[in-house]
Structure formats: C-alpha cells, structure tokens
Amino acid sequence: MSVQTPNGFQLDTSGRRIVVDPVTRIEGHMRCEVNLDENNVIRNAVSTGTMWRGLEVILRGRDPRDAWAFTERICGVCTGTHALTSVRAVEDALGIAIPENANSIRNIMQLTLYAHDHLVHFYHLHALDWVDVVSALKADPKATSALAQSISDWPLSSPGYFRDVQNRIKRFVESGQLGPFMNGYWGNPAYRLPPEANLMAVTHYLEALDFQKEIVKIHTIYGGKNPHPNWLVGGVPCAINVHDTGAVGAVNMERLNQVSSIIDRTIEFIDKVYLPDLMAIASFYKDWTHGGGLSSQAVLSYGDIPDRANDDSAANQMLPRGAIINGNLNEVHDVDLRDPDEIQEFVAHSWFQYKDESRGLHPWDGVTEPNFVLGPNAKGTRTRIEEIDEGAKYSWIKAPRWRGHAMEVGPLARYIIGYAKGIPEFKEPVEKVLTDLGLPLPALFSTLGRTAARGLEGSWAAHRMRYFQDKLMASLKAGDSHTANIEKWDPKTWPKEARGVGTTEAPRGALGHWIVIKNGKIDNYQAVVPTTWNGSPRDPAGNIGAFEAALMNTPVAVADQPLEILRTLHSFDPCLACSTHVMSPDGEELTRVKVR
C-alpha cells in the first residue's frame, strides 16, 4: 500500500519494519522506524521524539529577567543560544535597546557556540557514520602522513605522530574494553574510506576533543562559565574596564587578549583540520547522494548575527533571513514571526491535544496539553512500544509549518538561502566545494551537503568572531565601554502588558521564543526550536517532516545495522531536549503518580 504525501513523497509501509531506539550520538532521546523494500531501500520513515520536560509551563508566573536561565537549560549542547533568544524576546516586549558593545559580545558568544558546536558535531557525533575506527589499525602511518600533508599544512602530521596514535588505538582495542566503540558497525560495506583516511580522521577525533575545550573559554571570559554562561536583559553582565583602577575585576586587556588568541587558534584549527578532513572524507562519498529530503524544496531561516545593535531588519543580519518553497531558488520569501498566518504548530500526530486538531496555532496563542496515546495499529503496550502507529499520534514533537509547508532549517538551509540571495560569502564557498569535488548544484541537496554546509559555516563563524572582536576593540578605542542598558531594569518601568518575540539562528537552525508579559510576570512563553521543525511528525494534511523526508529512498547496506539511517539523521545534528515542550494553558495540575 502506497500513499503520496502532499509534499511529494511516496510512502509504502508494506516492507520489513526496522526500529532504531535509542538513536545515539544526538542530544536527547529519539526513536526512528523505517520500512525497507525487498532491495533494502527505505520506503517509509517515522521519527519520534521520545522526551518532553515542560519548561514553558514552568516559566509561567516568573520574572521575565530570569527566563534566559530557564530556557538556556532547554539545551546544554547549543548552550547560550536559547538564553540569547530569550533576552531578545524580553527586550522586544519591553522596548529595551542594548549597547553596541553588548551586541558585539553577544555575537562573539553566539559565533563561539557555532564554531564549537559544529566542530564537536562533525568529529564526535557524526564522524563515526563515515569513519571506520577499526580500519584505521590497518593504515600505513607514512601514507597517512603523506595524505595529511597533501591536504593541509597543519603541523601535527608526521609519520611518527600517526604511528603513535595508531598504537594507542591498537592497544585500546586489544585491551578488550572498547568503551564507546563497542558494538559499532565496523567493517560495514557502507564505510568507504581507505585505512589511511580513517587513521587521519580518528587522530583528529582525539585532537578535536582536546581542542574544543579551548574554544568555549570565550564564553567563560564573557559569561563566567561554559556550558551555560550568564546573560543579561539589557546587555551583557561583564563590565569592561581597560584603563582604570580595579581593572582586574572586569574585562580588561588581558581578558581581551585571551579572547583574541582563542579566536586565532579556532580559525586555524577549523581551516587546517576540520575543513580539509571534511573535503577529504566527502571525496570518497561523493556518489552517495542520498538524504536531501526537503532541502531541495522548502527551507527556512530567521537570520541572525546583527551587524549593528537594535536593528532587526533582514539587511542587518549577517546570516540570511528568508523562506524558499516549492524548490524555487529564484524567490526568497520574507518571514514575519508576528504574522499569525505564517508560523503555526499542529498536533494531529503529536502527543498533545487541541480543541480542533485540523488547525494550527501561532506560538503567541500556543497551547501544549499532553495526551500520550498510541494508535490502534501500534504493536506492544503503552509502556513497552514495539512498533509505532504513525497513522495516529506518535511523537512528543509538534509539527510547525510555515504557511502550511514543512520546512528544513539549519546550516544547509542558511547556505541555500544565502546562495539563492546571491550573497558572496555563502555562494562562493558553496561553488568552490562543488567545483573541487566535481559535483553539480543538486548534489548540495543531500546528507553530505548538510554536513558540508555545517563545516563551511564553522569556518565562517570563526572568521566572523574576529570581525566582532575587532569591532569591540574599535569601540573601546573610540571611548565607548558600555555593556548594559539599565533604564528598564526595574519592573516598575514596564507596561502592564507586553508581548515580544526573540529569534536566533541556533547552530541547528531557526529558533524563536514568543513571550507574553502581564503585570511584570511571564503570562505565556512558547519556544519553536530547530529540531521541532526538522524532527516534526506528519501534519493533518499528511506532509512529512525533514528527518522523515531525508531518510526516504535511501538504500541500507546491512538491514540490521542502521548506519545509513544514523548518517542522515546525524547530518541534522538533532537536539531532542530542545524540540519537545509542554504548556497547560489553564495551569491545571497534571496527573500524578506515587513515588515508589
């Protein structure tokens, strides 16, 4: 039995059903089920968010100035981006303008997150989908050195260096305690790298693990710690004092130098290790063109990294804003987060309930009332699910839609929009990658394209950190050291009622927070996050979401080993703690059970 979805995918559930639960190397908890046809090609895909925490109901009645700390804890991987979105929502509601220096520091922090998150995603969450650790043991260290030196002038590249790492891995494997590499899919025919490329990548897995902790020290300097640095409504909490007495109590010359030094090292690591590795790995997989999903037809970005403070126009955002639908790259639509007809969330297939589930709700009117029920065709029991029934409710994730369209968000979406808008800093790197690999434009719309866009963006972000650090220094030289606007810090200065929206582009994609403030307290708070977009279940019209679409029609080499499924899901960098939320609109007490 085969069904055509409105967004153009042919779903066939007749073949063998494969379940992957838990999906690992992601943030949070997720399940995936697919049907394979007789040739082991995916003909139906079902993605289920398997957790929710209810942060939005927890926010009701609280001080809006505290909301950043709560929402920051939505996610510890994209740490800070929810906090930034939250302070922007509150500032939008209350009409607070922030100092230029605060804008620069916030951008540096957001870009720090990009550089760190993309790097860690590539090596520690995604690489093992492409890199066979066990095969690295067969590599010739000399040939590995030659390979590394042919693609980069990164100094750690001698034969002896690769031999030492190889020996370390060998002895680790021989110890019989394989730790995180236990039961991996080593030797699966879907792995295509020669042993030398595998050894180079495994070596850089370890190097990146050591280096990533350096990048986040920028958060520690401006925000006091990482993960979960501190933010402030009205600016940033770190005062700057470069001239006077007591300078050791604030951001001073030594601190600024440390940030500057980390930026330089981050640029170097990404450009000399991450990007060359990405290109080398891609060159062995360039005919693996699967996983495009929605990217060739519907992508969305809110834009981010405002060049000047307090200017929300699309032109002021260094990451492009817009929506592309129906695969028409010649038209990039404007996006208005306040328009009730643009962004709406549906729950027909989510474990929530609306009065009328055929309709979607704009986040300012958002309702999130849990309703955990399994469909009639589910196998197993309520607390021991063997197979999901996707014809009914099947996920803790809602289904957001932009003007009714399921959209893909994230680095690839941003690069496609930047490409379509003809912005050189996005278009040129994309063209260069395609030319270097000898691939046509459609190759961009793929799992590999998503992974490549993330790498390009990591480099873009590192270089933009330099831009904003220089901008901050120029401002200090010009005599401006302000970092916070306290005019409306006191709740007595606020209107009785206000509503605001804050956005960022999180590393994983478009992120929006909608807040309603009444009498100085939060009255309603809704977050629509990247993985809600990408990981959404079907909507009432039957459109499938980005994860599901990307898995469609992918061949699986070994049916019992979900390597290709992981590869495509990981290319989105799923963040499940972000994507699931709950709101009981009337604040009712939810069912309770006794603690044993």
Partner 1 sequence: MATTETFYEVMRRQGISRRSFLKYCSLTATALGLAPSFAGTIAQAMETKPRTPVIWLHGLECTCCSESFIRSAHPLVSDVVLSMISLDYDDVLMASAGHQAEAILDEIRLKYKGQYILAVEGNPPLNQDGMSCIIGGRPFVEQLKEVAADCKAVISWGSCASWGCVQAAHPNPTQAVPVHKVITDKPIIKVPGCPPIAEVMTGVITYMLTFDRLPELDRQGRPKMFYGQRIHDKCYRRPHFDAGQFVEDWDDEGARKGYCLYKMGCKGPTTYNACSTTRWNNGVSFPIQSGHGCIGCSEDGFWDKGSFYDHVTNTNVFGIEANADKVGIAAAGTVGAAIAAHAAASAIQRIKQRAGEHHEENDQT
Which of 36, 84, 89, 221 binds partner 1 (CB under 8 A)? It is 221
What x-and-dash track marks residues 53-72 binding partner 1 by CB under 8 A?
xxx-xx---xx-xx--xx--
Least Cβ distance, residue 544 to partner 1 (angstroms): 21
Stretch that binds partner 1, among 178-186, 336-344, 402-410, 505-513 (CB under 8 A): 178-186
Burial class, 250, CB count within 10 angstroms (exposed 0-12 / middle 13-18 / buried 19+): middle
Q: Looking at residues 482 to 521 of the shown chain, list those that interact with partner 1 (rule: CB under 8 A).
A: 482-484, 486, 489
Per CB under 8 A, 343 contacts partner 1: no
Give min distance, CB of 477 to partner 1, in A.
17
Which of 103, 198, 212, 536 is in the footprint of partner 1 by CB under 8 A? Answer: 212
Q: Are 583 and 369 in contact (CB under 8 A)?
A: yes
Minimum CB separation from partner 1 for residue 27, in Å? Answer: 5
Residues 571-590 that bind partner 1 (CB under 8 A): 577, 582, 584, 587, 589-590
Residue 450 near partner 1 by CB under 8 A = no
Cα(588)–Cα(248) distance, integer angstroms: 50
Of 511, 412, 406, whose CA–CA distance to 452 is shortest?
412
Give residue 169's identity as a one-letter amino acid code: I
DSSP-assigned beta bridge partners for residue 301: 322
> Distance between CA atoms of 102 and 93, rounded to whole angstroms?
18
Q: Which residue from 94, 151, 240, 318 is in contact with partner 1, where contact means CB under 8 A?
A: 240
Report the C-alpha gap between 29 and 579 in whole angstroms.
10
Which range binds partner 1 by CB under 8 A, 337-345, 417-425, 431-439, 476-484? 476-484
CB of 596 to partner 1, least distance (A): 7
DSSP 291-311: --GGGGT-EEEEEEEESSTT-
Count the Cβ atoms, other than its own, within 10 Å of residue 49.
28
Determine if 217 is a binding residue for partner 1 (CB under 8 A).
yes
Asked if 184 touches partner 1 (CB under 8 A), the answer is yes
Pick from 114, 162, 396, 533: which binds partner 1 (CB under 8 A)? Answer: 396
CA distance 156 to 203: 10
Give the DSSP H/E element, type plus range, for residue 49. strand 42-49
Q: Tally Cβ neighbours within 10 Å of residue 487.
A: 12
Q: Which is nearer to partner 1, 317 or 571 (CB)?
A: 571
Single out the residue of 340, 380, 442, 585 in contact with partner 1 (rule: CB under 8 A): 380
Q: Which listed residue (13, 40, 158, 220) binds partner 1 by CB under 8 A?
A: 220
DSSP characters for 141-205?
Answer: HHHHHHHHHHH---S---HHHHHHHHHHHHHHHHTT--GGGTT--TT-TT----HHHHHHHHHHH
Q: How far is the CB of 55 from partner 1 (least distance, A)?
A: 6
Query: Which residue stretch of 44-52, 146-154, 426-434, 463-471 sits at the interface with partner 1 (rule: CB under 8 A)?
Result: 44-52
Among 153, 189, 245, 477, binds partner 1 (CB under 8 A): 245
| 75 lines the binding site for partner 1 (CB under 8 A) | yes
Among residues 39, 183, 330, 435, which is the contact residue for partner 1, using CB under 8 A? 183
| 322 is a site residue for partner 1 (CB under 8 A) | no
Contact yes or no for 262/276 (Cβ under 8 A): no
